[in-house]
Amino acid sequence: MRIVIENVGKTFVDTKKHEVTALTNINFSIEEQEFVVLVGPSGCGKSTLLNIVGGLMSPTSGSVYFEGMAASDKKPSLGIVFQEIALFPWRTVYENVIFGLEEQGISKQEQQDKGKHYIDMVGLTGFENSYPKQLSGGMKQRAGIARALAIEPDLLLMDEPFSALDAQTRTLMQEELLTIWNRTKLSTLYVTHNIQEAVYLADRVIVLSRHPGQIKEIIHIDLPKIGRDKDEYRVQFEQYADQIWQLIRQDAQDALKEG
C-alpha cells in the first residue's frame, strides 16, 4: 500500500488570534516497504505533518490517502511511537503490548502468540510481567515499539522515538530498529532532527524548511540498508549528512535565535 500526501497545508490560529502557517504545499508519498525520514529544524512542522498523516489532526488543505485500498476495506491501521512513550502504568509490559490486539477481536491465544513474538523481537523477553516504572528509558521505548508493531500496522509512525535516551542507548536502539525493520519491512514515517540518524535509517530523507514548513529537498539514500556505518561507506555517509546539514543550516540557526 502506498500513502500519498497531496498538497497538505496546515494553519494554526495562536492564542493572540494570529495565523501561523505550519505547513504549506506538502507533496510526497511513502511507498510500500519504504522508510521515509522527515528532518528539519525545530518548529518546521515535523510533528504536525506526522500527526496529519496519522489522522490525529486534520489538514487545513490537501489530503492524505492510502492508495490501493478500496472504500470497503477496513481502515488502514497505524502504529504510533512518540518521543515520550505513553505506556499504561497500571499494565504490565505484556498487557501494554497486547493493548491494540484486544480491540482487534482476535482470540486470547493469538494475542498471546503475537505479544510474545513482538516482546521477543524488541529484546524484552523476561520482562513481560514488569510494570513501566520498573523499566529503564530504553526498555520503555522498546515496549512502546513492540506495542506499535504488535498490531502489524499498514504504516508505522515514529516521532523522535529515541531523543530522550542517552547517546549510547540511542545508538543501540537505532541498530535494533533497523534489525526489526528488516524483519517487518513496514512502511514507516520517522521524524528526527538528528541528521546522522536520518542517513542511517532512511530510504529517503525529506528535508523541511521553516516559516512556513515546506519541502526543501527529498534525498534518496543510495546505500545498503544494513551496514551503513561500516568503514567502506564512511565517505558517502558523511557526504549525505553534509548535504542535509547545508540544507538546514540557515534555518537551524534562525530557529536557535528565536528560541
Ligand X SMILES: Nc1ncnc2c1ncn2[C@@H]1O[C@H](COP(=O)(O)OP(=O)(O)OP(=O)(O)O)[C@@H](O)[C@H]1O
Cα 223 vs. chain centroid, distance in angstroms?
A: 20
The CB-side HSE value for 234 (13 A sphere, CA atoms) comes to 3
What would the grid cell of residue 206 be?
525529506
Shortest Cβ distance from residue 114 to ligand X (Å)? 31
Scanning residues 191 to 230, which ones bind ligand X (CB under 6 A)? 193
Judge contact between 27 and 65, C-beta under 8 A: no
Q: Which is nearer to ligand X, 116 or 204 (CB)?
A: 204
Residue 20 is a binding residue for ligand X (CB under 6 A): yes
Shortest Cβ distance from residue 225 to Mg ion (Å)? 25
Residue 81 is a binding residue for ligand X (CB under 6 A): no
- Residue 78, C-beta contacts closer than 8 angstroms, at least 6 positions apart: 54, 55, 153, 154, 155, 156, 157
Scanning residues 156 to 195, which ones bind ligand X (CB under 6 A)? 193
Query: Can you tell me which of 47, 96, 188, 209 binds Mg ion, judged by CB under 5 A?
Result: 47
Query: Can you tell me which of 5, 8, 24, 46 binds ligand X, judged by CB under 6 A?
Result: 46
Long-range contacts, stretch 120-127, CB < 8 angstroms, 24+ apart: 121/146, 121/149, 121/180, 121/183, 122/146, 122/149, 122/176, 122/180, 123/176, 124/93, 127/93
Piece of 47-55, 100-108, 129-137, 172-180 that binds Mg ion (CB under 5 A): 47-55
Shortest Cβ distance from residue 82 to ligand X (Å)? 11
For residue 256, the partner it binds in ligand X, Mg ion, none, with Cβ less than 5 to 8 A by kind, is: none
Beta bridge partners of 80: 157
Shortest Cβ distance from residue 2 to ligand X (Å)? 24
Shortest Cβ distance from residue 45 to ligand X (Å)? 4
Residue 56 is a binding residue for ligand X (CB under 6 A): no
d(CA 43, CA 49): 11
Residue 47 is a binding residue for ligand X (CB under 6 A): yes
Residue 111 is a binding residue for Mg ion (CB under 5 A): no
Piece of 7-15, 41-49, 68-76, 180-188 that binds Mg ion (CB under 5 A): 41-49
Residue 114 is a binding residue for ligand X (CB under 6 A): no
3-state secondary structure of 62: strand
- Find, among 96, 247, 117, the residue nearest to 180 by Cα: 117
d(CA 185, CA 189): 12
Q: Which is nearer to ligand X, 53 or 149 (CB)?
A: 53
- Find, among 191, 180, 87, the residue nearest to 136 by Cα: 87
Tallying the residues shown for the chain, one arrives at: 259
Shortest Cβ distance from residue 14 to ligand X (Å)? 5
Shortest Cβ distance from residue 204 to Mg ion (Å)? 19
Q: Which residues bind Mg ion (CB under 5 A)?
A: 47
Q: Which residues bind ligand X (CB under 6 A)?
A: 12, 14, 20, 22, 40, 42-48, 193
